Structure 1
Amino acid sequence: MDDPARRRALVLRHGHQRQDHDGADDQRAAARRRAARAAAREHGGGGLDRRARGGRRRRGCGARPQAWPIEIAALQLHDTSLPRPLASICLNVAEDHLDHFGTMERYRAAKAAVYRGTTGACVYPTWEPGAREMVEEAEVTEGARAVGLSLAVPGLAQVGLVEDAVIDRAFHPRRRTEGVELFTTDDVAHLGMGEAGLPLHIVTNAMAAAALVREGGVDPDAIAAGLRAFRVEDHRIARVAVIDGVTWVNDSKATNAHAAAASLRALADGSAVWLAGGDAKGADLDDLVRDFAVKMRGSCSSGATRARGSSRSRDTRATSR
């Protein structure tokens, strides 16, 4: 008899048997690169596309890909029938798309669907409130297990951070008594912001991608090599130019407060002029400006973002027009 409650319980139970951290595109691309480094023939689905849904061969490929890294938005998840993924992750449960979902509860439920049907590892960031509950409540395939990402020394069933090294205690035979190094921060240092340092979200995105491909059997050496070869794509803290001593950075992929905060957090105090525009998708940016005012020498907003926050931002000392 199919018992949903039993399926939910199996996630954590199997996790403990096998075990002793807005950036989704980067995580998907990094996983794709590491899988390729491990000689796995694959094709990444940037968002859920027709090729991924149909499992079709790409023109010019002699064989069907062995792995399909797929990034899919909550807007698609709530009404999409997915294949059963080997491993899955929800990177964050931060406020976004409220103009569509109306409430955080509905938005969270839509994102939680990423774990539905998972056959292997349900990976979740332990620092995100509610992320573990998503896994506990998911209707997974029997035998699936929970794997936590941690910013501290990992426990059993976790991938975590020990000084400058990311350590696996979830995917190898001796995980109950020891960890295996997957990569170090040196392997991703080239993805940082120069003198501003290495943003934490670069490390956690790499950690997430590493956990996904570990479930697929990719070895640690291939993960480290893939990260060293990886380059951040356009619009993601991409250095555009240095003019008269001012560095211009394109981070337009940061389309919500959570993603923008990840980049602002890495900056030195008083070093940035923030140019924000477009549509905030129902989110309130006042807290973002208030929390990171110390990082900014000024900020300029335009479009719907300006219309939403202009009346209140006048009182924020770091905001100017």
Structure 2
Amino acid sequence: MKKLIVIASAITGLALSQISLAAYPEKSIRLVVPFATGGTSEIVARSVASSLSTSLGQSVYVDNKPGGAGNIAMEEVKRANPDGYTLILGHVGTLAVNPALFGSKLPYDPNKDFAPVTLVAKVPNVIAVSSKSSYKTLADLVADAKKNPGKINYGSAGNGSAGHLAMEYFSAVAGIDLVHVPYKGSGPMLTDLIGGQIQATFNGLPSLMGQISGGALRPLAVGSIERSKVLPNVPTIAESGYKGFETSQWYGIMAPAGTPKPIIDRLQKEIAKALKNKEDSKRMLEDGAVLIGDTPEQFAAFIKVEQGRWGKVVEKAGIQVD
């Protein structure tokens, strides 16, 4: 009799669980962004949040939690209930670079503490200067840096950010010594770049596109393998004399490990559908993003490959957080 009661309870629990999953979502969903406002990450996150709010019928709101090269937000979300109501914007920095950069001090395991949902977008990094700068080409910047080692400043969204790592990588390849000036987000960094307080940046294109289009910034080179469709006249770094050089930023949606697969699959399906809708993805496309929307399994495999690639870059370039 006791065995029958246990079985009946298990069946009832399973049925209730399935009903709950079928009803998902029943309340607002928080999408955490591990960086400050005003950067590429927020542009991508708000586009995804807006599309999901429409397709899921529940509010999906963006919650910026900057600090610690993204580690603070990642640690918080790994501890969240795995119920589909807390998500985080995964990033090349938090998922692929930080494991190599922080090693055993990293407060989370990107492969064990999170469940990949989908890779949303890849965006080229762009080396840009103020339109008032004397640098007209990447060669101009490199030549001046070689004449004045340790005297040219570049800004990034913070220590360990993708822009920080990208410029350190390029500096190592080009054989130049630039001074890193970390900011609390891309917004204040761009203000100083335009004003001439710093001389260059190597940031994600979406965060720069408005200032480039408005004439405040001059792009010198893009870090992607191919030229950007929205900046067709700007050469790649590889074309500028650094054969094989490539670095791009990428963004994807992650959930805490243990989130039910039906919820993961539902989110992936809705995001992938939104990415195919040009109206939903208009802002990202206009800012030069390449949209993906792959499966959780494909995203997980991509992360592993990127961890191997960036681990070698960090070691070879001797990159350290300031």
TM-score, normalising length: structure 2: 0.27
- Give 1 or 2: higher helix fraction: 2
Q: Which of structures 1 and 2 has the bigger CA Rg?
A: 2
Larger RCO (CA within 8 A; separation ≥ 6): 2
